[in-house]
Amino acid sequence: MTTTGQITSGPVDPFSTNERVHRVAHRATRVSAAAKPFASQTQALAAVQALAERLREAKDRLWDPDFPENGSFSRVQKRSPAGEGRAHWYFDCYQPAGRKQGTGKGIRRYIGAVGDPHVEARIQAFNKVKTCRGQFAAEVAALTASGLPSPPRFIGKLINAIARAGIFNQGGVLLGTPAYQTYDAILGVVLVQAPGTHGELGARNIRTVTVAVHSLDVPAVAGELIHIDPTFEASETEQGWQFLNRAGYRVKVTRIAGSTAANQIACFLADDALNALVLSGSGVSVRVPAPVRFALAKQIQWACPTDNIFRRTAKISQMQADQIFDAIIYRGQEAILRARGAARALSMSVSSNAS
* % of residues, the chain, pLDDT over 70: 66
Domain boundaries, given as residue ranges, for the chain: 20-43+149-354
Among residues 161, 129, 150, 153, which one has the least CA distance to residue 230?
A: 161
Q: Express each pLDDT in 30-42 by its tens digit.
A: 333 333 333 455 6
What was the pLDDT predicted at 10? Answer: 37
Measured between alpha carbons, how far is 321 from 307 in angstroms, rounded to an integer?
Answer: 19
Fold (CATH) for 20-43+149-354? Beta Polymerase; domain 2 (3.30.460)
Q: Express each pLDDT in 85-143 by its tens digit.
A: 788 999 988 766 555 555 566 788 899 999 899 999 988 888 888 888 888 888 888 88
List, as one string, the DSSP characters of 232-267.
Answer: -EEEE-SSEEEEE-TTS-EEEEEES-SSSHHHHHHH
Is residue 207 scored above 50 in pLDDT?
yes
Put residue 5 in one of left, alpha, beta given phi > 0 → left and psi -120 to 50 → alpha: left
Query: Crossing angle, helix 291-303 and helix 314-331, to 10 degrees?
Result: 140
Whether 14 contacts 322, CB under 8 Å: no
What number is the average pLDDT over the span 220-241?
A: 90
Whether 288 contacts 182, CB under 8 Å: yes
Is residue 205 scored above 60 in pLDDT?
yes
What was the pLDDT predicted at 159? Answer: 96
Is residue 354 scored above 70 in pLDDT?
no
pLDDT band at 244 (very low <50, low <70, confident <90, very high): very high
What was the pLDDT predicted at 328? Answer: 77
pTM of the model: 0.74
Q: Express each pLDDT in 288-312 by its tens digit.
A: 999 989 988 888 877 665 555 555 6
